[in-house]
Amino acid sequence: MIWSVDSIPNQEGRIVLVTGANSGLGFDTARFLLNKGAGVILGCRTMQKAELARQKLLEQTPSANIELLEIDLGDLNQVDRAADQIAIKYKKLDLLINNAGVMAPPFTLSKQGLELQFAVNHLSHMALTLKLLPLMSKQDGARVVTVSSGAQYMGKINWNDLQGNNHYDRWASYSQSKLANVMFALELHKRLKKSNCNVASLSSHPGLARTNLQIASVAANGSWQEGFAYKLMGPMFQSSAMGSLPQLLAATDPNAKSGEQYGPRFNFRGYPKLCRVAPLALNMELREKLWELSLKLIRNFIQINSFKEIL
């Protein structure tokens, strides 16, 4: 059976937060959910990007219920403030789609001095999720979907040089952050289940999807070789809309369960299906180690107390 946008159930009455919603997978995810009646909060790095995305979405769905949220995932303090804004403004949150990400930039530090890919792709989404869990736990059927990448299968956690301070390899750091996404999603699932919390934690990956990440990576690194490689691989890439289907399935399909991961049928392209996670993410001891280490890093900059009521 093919799972497509037509398979998305009615989403009327549901409130969704999508990070990185102004372009690529996030924009298409927001677009499809709005078409199904959901109210969508566009989490974007700047209000200007969020407003431009809203105008494009309203052109397609004039009656859409769209809210804007400024959230720079390169700054844990802003993530903290954004989560507080959500908790104050909204009485509920049904879906959190941790979609935003950066891919293979030159060595760059976040606002807190952490390696940017680890900070944006993993730490900030973990912080955001933990801050929003009390709000989400009030809803039956609430889900957290953390978006990874096929790079998870090549990733490993460099415990001795997590931030790449001694040696930085941009693709190794990217793969590390994508493996961390899956490890977080699985560890969150385990802890939510143990706490009898009704929030589900799932992960997804888009396969080879054509988004702004490839363009941004080439521009940031000035690599003509990388640009040439993307051109050669062009026929293998599927559209951003197709790439968004695994996270939409994980977020909305009644049969999708906490702890599962969804990706393209042929791993790099195709309609979505249940897929395996990176073998390293199945190591419970390593997941717990990453969780505690990540939590310690987050707590160096923001206070996360409310999630203790749940986990």
Residue with tokens 């804007």: 68
**Catalytic site residue 230?**
no
The token pair at 310 is 């749940």
The Cα angle at residue 262 between residues 82 and 244, in degrees rounded to 5: 60
The token pair at 105 is 């930039």
Largest CA distance in the chain: 52
Secondary structure of 84-133 in HEC code, one letter for each residue: HHHHHHCCCCCEEEECCCCCCCCCCECCCCCEHHHHHHHHHHHHHHHHHH
Q: Give CA torsion, residues 45, 289, 208, 189, to 10 deg.
A: -80
Q: Which is the catalytic residue, given 90, 168, 230, 271?
A: 168
The token pair at 184 is 């977080």
- Pairing state between β 39-44 and 65-70: parallel
Q: Which of 44, 159, 177 is nearest to 123 (CA)?
A: 177
Q: Which are the catalytic amino acids? A: 168
